[in-house]
Amino acid sequence: MLEKSQQAYQEAIQYIPGGVDSPVRAFKSVGGVPPFIERGKGALLYDIDGNEYIDYVQSWGPLIFGHADEETLQAVCDQAQKGLSFGAPTLLETALAKEIVELFDSVDKIRFVNSGTEAVMSAIRLARGFTGRDDIIKFEGCYHGHSDSLLVSAGSGAATFGTPSSPGVPADFTKHTLLARYNDIESVKKCFAASDEIACVIIEPIAGNMGLVPAKEEFLQELRALCDEHGTLLIFDEVMSGFRAHLKGAQGLVDIKPDLVTFGKVIGGGMPVGAFGGRAEIMSHLSPEGPVYQAGTLSGNPVAMAAGLSAIRRLKKDPSIYNILETRAKGLVGGFKKIASDHGIPLQVEVRGSMFGFFFNDKPVENFDDAKRSDLEFFAKFHQEMIKRGVYFACSQFETGFICTPLDEKLIDMTLEKIDEAMKKLA
């Protein structure tokens, strides 16, 4: 079934560490050979062995309109013919910035970078520069990219491999990072009691890297109040949830206004991109206006800006897309939960907009400790069975799934049939 992928993987290992350019892609947590993808169209992926998959990963979130979307491709091709990169200002940057600023009340100005990691790294530097403080608070299980100070009790790939931090990260880099428990305000209060030098609190308001675990609105309200009390900036990492959970990200679902926001994924339409934005008085501290340095050769890349602008304008034009995608996501996980129950298998499910998650767990998941109690061995077996049946779920219990517009009810019904087949075999 995966003979060519097996050969390709063995060759890749000779030239690329682990054969992949991002650890989770190696399938180490679920076993088996990672399919090498040749092409995608709509909600479907095709590997080099000729296998077809219903894709619930969607490049880990960016492709809300699916693979090889015609409008996105046209925007990319039109710009590519004019040039791939200039290292100079373009109208596209301003146009995309304006679209995002108009949607997010918390964002007066925004700057584009090349990845979510870079966006978060820059936002934290800005928060430190603005406040004159060094310490930060992050939450166990929240993943904010692979910059040194944030590889502390991270989720996602770090959780998959059971290594919540990484060799190569000096203790001096992480001594300014305080850890709190997600959805636990008392743990945050302890962090504030331990330091009066906290520049910012960074959180995924909808955590997507310990599985899908939304923050409770009351918790976020208390977090906002604590930050105000201590003169600390609140950063929402919406790299994943931005334009996925809602047109206005998590901020469209809860009435809480952060000081800074990070973006990525959907805002690039499938091209590499990141961004961070916030209040004008904070953003004015960035060079060349202010003293906090940040730069990038390919930042604001015109091809990425064109793809992102196409995507965001389409979403703004028809925000009912989110209701449709959420209905489909609920149909998928609701059907999944019933099938699991019929086979006596405990399952917890969650949906926010076009994002969904499931845990083989008999109790609700509210934090990283809860997520880690999931049956990882069963998840691995389940994932293998679904790959065999042509369904491409994220290859880690600690990742989030995504619905794209071409993924219709027919494909969801097909998926549920295959889930039932897998459960019959595994139960």
Cα end-to-end span (Å), the chain: 24
Out of 9, 143, 322, 392, the active site residue is 143
Reading the block at residue 14, the tokens are 């000779």
Instruction: Answer for the pair 57, 394: CB distance below 8 angstroms, yes or no.
Output: yes
237 is catalytic: yes
Q: What's the rounded Cα separation, in Å, for the pair 306 and 299?
A: 13
- Residue 253, judged by CB atoms within 10 A of its CB (0-12, 13-18, 19+), counts as middle
C-alpha dihedral sign at 112, 116, 118, 119 = positive
Out of 265, 370, 372, 392, the active site residue is 265
C-alpha dihedral sign at 180, 185, 191, 195 = positive
Nearest Cα residue to 85 out of 116, 123, 119, 114: 114
Q: What's the rounded Cα separation, in Å, for the pair 350 and 401?
A: 10
The one-character DSSP state at 207 is E
Nearest Cα residue to 76 out of 251, 307, 412: 307
The set of residues, in sequence order, having a beta carbon less than 8 Å from that of 37 and lying 6+ positions away, is: 45, 46, 47, 48
Per-residue b or e along 301-321, where b marks 16 or more CB atoms closer than 10 Å to that residue's CB:
bbbbbbbbbbbbebbeeeeeb
381 is catalytic: no
C-alpha dihedral sign at 150, 151, 152, 154 = positive
Q: What's the rounded Cα separation, in Å, for the pair 114 and 273?
A: 4
Out of 237, 248, 372, 392, the active site residue is 237
Write the CA distances from 212 to 5, 320, 341, 366, 396, integer angstroms: 30, 22, 20, 9, 12
Reading the block at residue 404, the tokens are 């794209």
Instruction: Answer for the pair 329, 244: CB distance below 8 angstroms, yes or no.
Output: no
Write the CA distances from 282 to 141, 220, 222, 292, 293, integer angstroms: 27, 21, 22, 10, 13
143 is catalytic: yes
Point out the residues that are catalytic.
Answer: 143, 237, 265
